[in-house]
Amino acid sequence: MSSLVPLPAHVRTADGSLPLDGLSVVAGPSEEEQRLAAVARHLLGLGAPAGDRPALVLALDDAAGPGGAASPERYSLEVSGAGAALTAPTTEGLFRGIATLAQLSTVDGEGRAVLPAVVVKDAPRYPWRGLSLDVARHFFEPDVVERVIDVMARYKLSVLHLHLTDDQGWRLELPSRRLLTEISGKGEIGDGVGGFYTMDEFRRLQEYAAARYVQVVPEFDMPGHTNAATHAYGELVPGGQPTDRFGGEEVGFSKLSFDLPETEPFLRDVFGDIAAATLGEYVHIGGDEVFTLGVEEYSRFVLLAHDVVTAAGKKVVGWQEIAEVELPADTVVQYWETRKDTAPLRRAVAGGAKILLSPADRVYLDMKYDADDARGQDWGASMPPIELRDAYDWEPDAAVEGVDPDAVVGVEAAIWSERIPDEHTLFMRLLPRLAAVAEVAWTPVDARSWEGFAARVARESTGWRDRGLTFHESPGVDWA
Ligand code: TNX
What residues does 166 pair with on adjacent strands? Answer: 169
Query: Which among 289, 297, 324, 337 is annotated as catalytic?
Result: 289
CATH superfamily of 128-448+455-466: Glycosidases (3.20.20.80)
Residue nearest to atom 9 of ligand 1 (CA): 288
Question: Is any atom of ligand 1 closer than 6 Å to the C-beta of 377?
Answer: yes
Identify the pLDDT of residue 53: 87
Residue nearest to atom 8 of ligand 1 (CA): 288
Identify the pLDDT of residue 94: 98
pLDDT in tens, 340-349: 999 999 999 9
Q: Distance between CA atoms of 336 and 21, rounded to whole angstroms?
A: 48
Q: Are 200 and 170 in contact (CB under 8 A)?
A: no
Q: Distance between CA atoms of 437 and 439, rounded to whole angstroms?
A: 5
The mean pLDDT value for 399-414 works out to 97
Q: Are 104 and 84 in contact (CB under 8 A)?
A: no
Q: Which amino acid is at 77?
A: L
Q: Distance between CA atoms of 120 and 368, rounded to whole angstroms?
A: 36
pLDDT above 90: percentage of residues in the chain: 97
Atom of ligand 1 nearest to the CA of 319: 9
Identify the pLDDT of residue 57: 98
Q: Are 392 and 450 in contact (CB under 8 A)?
A: yes
- CATH 3.20.20.80 domain residues, the chain: 128-448+455-466
Query: How does residue 330 score in pLDDT terms, banded at 50, 70 and 90?
Result: very high
Q: Which CATH number fits domain 10-122: 3.40.605.10, 3.40.50.450, 1.10.10.10, 3.30.379.10?
A: 3.30.379.10
Question: Is any atom of ligand 1 closer than 6 Å to the C-beta of 221?
Answer: no
Distance 416 CA to ligand 1 centre (A): 6
Query: Please, what is the average pLDDT of the chain?
Result: 97
Atom of ligand 1 nearest to the CA of 336: 2
Pocket test for ligand 1, best of 416, 417, 418, 429 (most atoms within 8 A of CB): 416
- CATH 3.30.379.10 domain residues, the chain: 10-122
pTM beyond cutoff 0.95: yes
Q: Residues for the chain: how many in total?
A: 480
Q: Kindly write down the DSSP assignment for every residue of 199-256, as one continuous string.
A: HHHHHHHHHHHHTTT-EEEEE---SSS-HHHHHH-GGGSTTSPPPPP--S---S----
Give the three-class secondary structure for 425.
helix
Question: Is any atom of ligand 1 closer than 6 Å to the C-beta of 412?
Answer: no
Q: Which amino acid is at 275?
A: A
Q: Are 438 and 155 in contact (CB under 8 A)?
A: yes
Query: How does residue 2 score in pLDDT terms, banded at 50, 70 and 90?
Result: low
Number of H helices, E strands in the chain: 14, 17
* DSSP code at position 329: T
Question: Is any atom of ligand 1 closer than 6 Å to the C-beta of 289?
Answer: yes
The mean pLDDT value for 113-121 works out to 97
Distance 356 CA to ligand 1 centre (A): 16
pLDDT in tens, 344-369: 999 999 999 999 999 999 999 999 99
Q: Which residues, 6 or more positions from 46, have their beta carbon under 8 angstroms from its beta carbon?
A: 20, 23, 25, 40
Is-catalytic flag, 289? yes
The mean pLDDT value for 401-428 works out to 97
